[in-house]
Every structure is written in C-alpha cells, then in structure tokens.
Amino acid sequence: MIQFETASMRAAAHAHVESLRWRLAVWGVFALGAALALDSFAAGAAWLLAVALSMGFDALLGGSYLSARRPKEQRTSGALFVWGCAFSALVFSAMPLYLVAQGGGAGRVLGVLMAASAFVRALLFLSRERGFMMVVSAPSVLCLLVMAFLPITTGQANPLQSALAVGCGVFAFLAYVARASLHQNALMERVRAAHVQARQEQKLAQAKCAEAEEANRAKSKFLTVMTHELRTPLNAVIGYAEMLHEDLHADQPAAAADAARIEKSGRHLLELIDRILEYAGDHAATEQRAQVVDVRALLEAQIHAMSDQTSNNGNRVSLLVSPGAEQTISDEKLISACVAALLSNAAKYTKQGLIALKAEREGEELIISVSDTGPGIAEEELPRLFTPFTQAGDVRTRVQGGVGLGLAMARRSANLLGGDISVRSELGRGATFVLHLPLSSPTDARVAFAA
C-alpha cells in the first residue's frame, strides 16, 4: 500500500522526475547498442521514441502529483503517476526481451545489462518508498526471470557491431552505477550534515534548558527568602492586633473593631504569602505515600473545612459518591490539596447558589467533579485558568482577590498523582472542574496494604 501523503513518497517522486534527462541520455546509449545488436537502427530509434514519450508522460503526472496539496488530490494524482511509471517500465522492458530473443549472444548480454540497470536504478533511487520502488522495479525483475527460459539465437549483427553493442551496454550500466554511487555519497553527506545540525540544536536546547532551570531555581530561592522575611514581622503584627482586640473589646469597641480588621487583613496577607511559599517549593521532590483513601470521608472533611467560606456567601453544598468510587489507593494529602483548591475556588465566586461535589468511577479513573452556579467563565479565558499568578479577565477577577495560584497548584498536585484537571464552563452558567485520577496500580496496592 503506497501512502501518497508521506514525505518519503514525495521525495521518491521528486527523485524520479528530476532524473528524467539522465535516464534519457543513458537509454539513448542503450538504444544505440540495441540498434547495433539487431542490425536495425529503425528498431532502436522506435524503441527510444516510445520510451521517451512514456517517460515524458509520467514526468507530467509526477509534476501534477508534486504540486497537489490536498490529500484527496495527492491520492488521485499519485495513483496516476505510479501507473504511468509502471507503463514506462513495461515499455522499457520490451526491448531487453526482444534483444535476448532475436539479438544473439551480444543481444542477450545487452538485454541483461539493460534489465539489471533498470532494477538497480529503482532499488537505489526509489528506496525511500518501498511500494513505489516495487511497482517500478517489477517489470525489470520479471524480464530477468523470463530471459533465463528464452533460447539462445544467432543474431544478424557482425562481430564489430556485436562488440560495440556490448560496449554500449557496459558503458550505460557503469554510468548508472557511477550515478548511483554519487547519489549515495550526496545522500550520506546530507545525512551527516543533518546529524551534525541535530546535535548542535540538541546542545543548544540543553543549554537553554539548563539556563531556564537555573533561573527557576533562582526565582524559587528568591521567593522563599522573601516570604520567610515577610512572615516574621507579619506574625508580630497579627499577634499585637489580637492583643489590642482583647484589651479594647470591653472599653473601646470602635478601636477593638479596628484591631480586628488589622488582624483579619494580616491573616489574609499571611495566607497569600504561604501560597507563594508553597508554590516556590520543590513539589516534584515530595515523596508520595500510597495508602487506602476513604473518598467520602476526604470530601466530607474538605466540605467541613470550607463551611465558613461557603456559608458566608449563602451557598449550599451537596455531595454524591458513587458505589464504585468510595475508596482508592493514592496520596491522600495531594488529593485533599486538589479538592480544597477546587472547592475554595467555587465557594469564592458563587453567591446564594449551589456547589455540588461528585465522585464516580469511569474505567480505570477516579473522577471528582466540583460544580457551581457562579458567574461562569468565558471560553477564551479557559486556557489561562491554570497559569500561575494569572486570573481570568472576567467579572470574577474584578470582585475577588487572590494571586492566581490555587488552580495552578491543584493541577500540579494532580499531575504528581498521574492525573489532571479539566474545566467546563459558559459565561453566566457556572463552571465544573473535574479532577481525573488513576486508580491504584497493583504495586501501589501492595505498598498500601503492607503498610
């Protein structure tokens, strides 16, 4: 089966079309030898004319195939081109058979050289597409097989003509071999050049990767140092605010309220700093602990932990766990981090609505979905949701704070577990975030139950 859309087939067709002039020149030498062996210049000229016409026709078909761009056009024009090449090969093979049958000893030698040269040309120049090579070389192979069964006859040529005919055959065959050698050398040079270029590009990519990793390590180190430096005075501010609130609560309620606002703002800032510090950490180096996870208990614990945030916005929370999804074997801490981020995101942007958690099993995956009836997300903003320090540029961003790390960290945790997070949403119709996690492997199961 020939694949006409592949680069190898187009390269083979290009090589076949480009070698038209060379083949005509060599076949002209063969035609001269045939005319000498048969003692009939008319036979040699007629054969050369027929071969030239058929070759010109398949060259036109080859040009049409190479210029085609659509797959359907490539298949149609490619099939016509291949059949044109097969017809040209058949026309060429007619003369070697006739030489063996009527040309005597010199004709037999010349016929074998002609058929062998056609086979060698197809083998060396069209080997990039085996199907095309087999179609073009098949007539010459059949010709060589049939020659073995044809009887030796006495030719009409004199000894000088016979010698010249064999000389023409040898010259043309050697010309084919020489061109094939040059072609192979040029091909090897291109391969070497491509290999050298690939190695240089690989080294450049490795250097860029090393630079990027070094820059990422420097960034993480900077964030870690800065967040640690910020947490120390911030914890002091929060502590003094708590003390002021307790001391002023009874005598100066207004001042106590101000102290409470300072404490609340400080804790919010501390939470943001903790998020940045956690994201800057090397999560890839965190050792995972596979254990039996009670999915229902995990989800109920996260709902309870987020109860204040959900109730503040007047939201209701529902939970549904399918029978096949009540347990899995994985890292409970990472799953909890994913669910907490998704639940917090839903609670933050949904007001007087419903947040639905659902766990189910689909094939070899555990699916945990978090749906809300919030404002939704525009389709063009969906690809940006999981980018660190980025928030979707819709109405949600203008009314809510945050640094844009929650979903990015959730996806990172899901990736560490071999899963991922997807999202479905329409503006004004809420959003559904889906956590895809693989079920336990036999190795994980042995580790968990052994523990």
Residue 206 lies in a domain: no
Pair 194, 269 in one domain:
no
Residue 333 within a domain: yes
How many independent structural domains does the chain possess?
A: 3
Same domain for 223 and 321?
A: no
Let me know whether 180 and 323 are in one domain: no
Question: 359: domain CATH number?
Answer: 3.30.565.10
pLDDT at residue 395, as a whole number: 40
Domain match, 382 and 424 both: yes
243 shares its domain with 306: no
pTM for this predicted structure:
0.47
Q: Clarify whether residues 25 and 166 are in a common domain.
A: yes
Give domain status of residue 2, yes or no.
no
In this structure, the answer to whether residues 323 and 427 fall within a common structural domain is yes
Please check whether residue 314 is in contact with residue 351, taking contact to mean a CB–CB distance below 8 angstroms.
yes
* Residue 186: per-residue pLDDT: 65
C-alpha distances (whole Å) from 140 to each of 78, 187, 361 are 22, 25, 62
- pLDDT tens digits for range 135-160: 888 888 898 898 888 887 787 788 89
Which distant-in-sequence residues (6+ apart) come within 8 Å of 324 by Cβ?
Answer: 360, 361
227 and 95 in a common domain: no
Q: Above pLDDT 90, what percent of the chain? A: 20
pLDDT at 70: 85
Q: Give domain status of residue 209, yes or no.
A: no
Could you state, in chain order, the average pLDDT of each consecutive group of 10 residues for the chain (451 residues)? Answer: 79 81 87 90 90 89 88 88 89 90 88 88 76 86 87 82 90 81 66 78 87 80 75 84 83 84 81 70 58 92 87 91 91 89 89 94 92 89 80 49 74 89 90 90 39 37
Distance CA 241, CA 257 (A): 10
Enclosing H/E stretch for 192? helix 159-248
**39 and 178 share a domain?**
yes
Contacts 24+ apart (CB under 8 A), 1-8: 1/131, 2/78, 2/82, 2/129, 2/131, 2/132, 2/135, 3/131, 4/65, 4/74, 4/75, 4/78, 4/79, 5/71, 5/74, 5/75, 6/129, 8/128, 8/129
**Do 273 and 297 fall into the same domain?**
no
Range of the domain at 332: 286-450
Same domain, 234 and 86: no
Q: Which of 261, 284, 307 is the last residue of a domain?
A: 284
Judge whether 1 lies within some domain.
no
Query: How does pLDDT run across 294-305, given as a tens digit for each residue?
Result: 999 999 999 988
Position 188 scores a pLDDT of 66
Whether residue 67 lies inside any domain: the answer is yes
Residue 208 is assigned to a structural domain of this protein: no
What is the rounded distance in angstroms from the CA atom of residue 91 to the CA atom of residue 109? 19
Q: Which of 252, 284, 316 is the last residue of a domain?
A: 284
Q: What is the CA radius of gyration of the chain?
A: 39
**Among the three residues 174, 200, 226, which one is the final residue of a domain in this structure?**
200
Residue 236 and residue 312 in one domain: no
pLDDT number for residue 294: 93
